Structure 1
């Protein structure tokens, strides 16, 4: 039965300069793919809030930080004052003016972390990450933190709560 050379035998049959260049070229190709993925803004359907909530959300949009834990802001497409995103991988996405999520009705205090005096309801996003929604505020602000974006899924909330506190009033 004939024997076929394995991948290392084929690699060794190449001239030395090509063998030496193969690992750096493969590494640079992988880095290029990552950069393309990080630089592409996500597609997010913006909410359509009532006029009073829309004003609050526009103010929040202006107050949001340019970076969250070292990840630059790169807003989703289509451009809207009701959505924002940061270049974590995958992207962390904020939506302002969403309808009240049903999971807040189940048991609003069961999974309700408080971060810097901002109360959140939370639920799994169905893909290993979490959705956090502000509670007891005049507008519902949802922050989606995908699996793997941060070492701790709650970490980005502390970067966003100052903007939320200063623009989204307390109350129902």
Structure 2
């Protein structure tokens, strides 16, 4: 006798569907932010891990709540989340001559407490900041709000401590 068809009916029957709906309902209530984890070189990963160890527990008055998936290359604070990703690729706008001339209104270069940043406006509001003149690119996305300078001030010390100045590898 072949019992395989009966087993399939039991697994796909109403009890199994009810369990799946219950599990899916529980997991969809999670408000954790998500962030794509960069895949830098081994040298860059080491520096990013060093950065993770010295990141502040609060940024701009917001407590640390790391995004999913968990990684030493990403960090987050608050909700909506301020997200840091270490080891990202160089942003195309960073090599755009319009930015260097100051004629690109969507990208502005500047420094905060000894760390140089490229600021890019994001669709839907908020900004993306990427470190410049450091051995590894660190990206920080900040949700729409009145002022994001507090975020960069709070992160500057950790970036200076863990990511040396120089040309990114």
Q: Does TM, scored on the shorter chain, surpass 0.5? A: yes
Cα distance, 1:90 vs. partner? 1.5
Partner of 1:41: 32
Are the counterparts in 2 of residues 127 and 146 from structure 1 also a CA contact under 8 Å? no
Partner of 1:103: 93
Between the aligned partners of 2:32 and 2:163, the Cα distance in structure 1 is 25
Cα distance, 1:171 vs. partner? 0.3
The unaligned stretches of length 5 or more in structure 2 are 1-28, 103-107
Q: Render the CA deviation track for 1:72-129: whole Å, top value 9, x for unaligned.
A: 0000000001000001x31100000001011111145431120001000111121211
Query: Residues 8-87 of structure 1 correspond to what in structure 2 (within 5 A)?
Result: 40-87=31-78
Of the three residues 112, 115, 126, the one matched with 1:115 is 112
Q: Render the CA deviation track for 1:124-143: whole Å, top value 9, x for unaligned.
A: 12121110000000000000
SS of the residue 2:117 aligns to? strand
Partner of 1:154: 149
Partner of 1:32: none
Given the two structures, how large is their TM-score scaled by the length of structure 1?
0.73
Between the aligned partners of 1:113 and 1:92, the Cα distance in structure 2 is 19
Residue-pair matches, total: 132
RMSD of the TM alignment (CA)? 1.5
Of the three residues 148, 151, 163, the one matched with 2:158 is 163
Cα distance, 1:55 vs. partner? 0.2
Extract structure 1 runs of 4+ deviating beyond 2 A.
Answer: 107-110
Between the aligned partners of 2:40 and 2:157, the Cα distance in structure 1 is 22
Between the aligned partners of 1:70 and 1:154, the Cα distance in structure 2 is 12
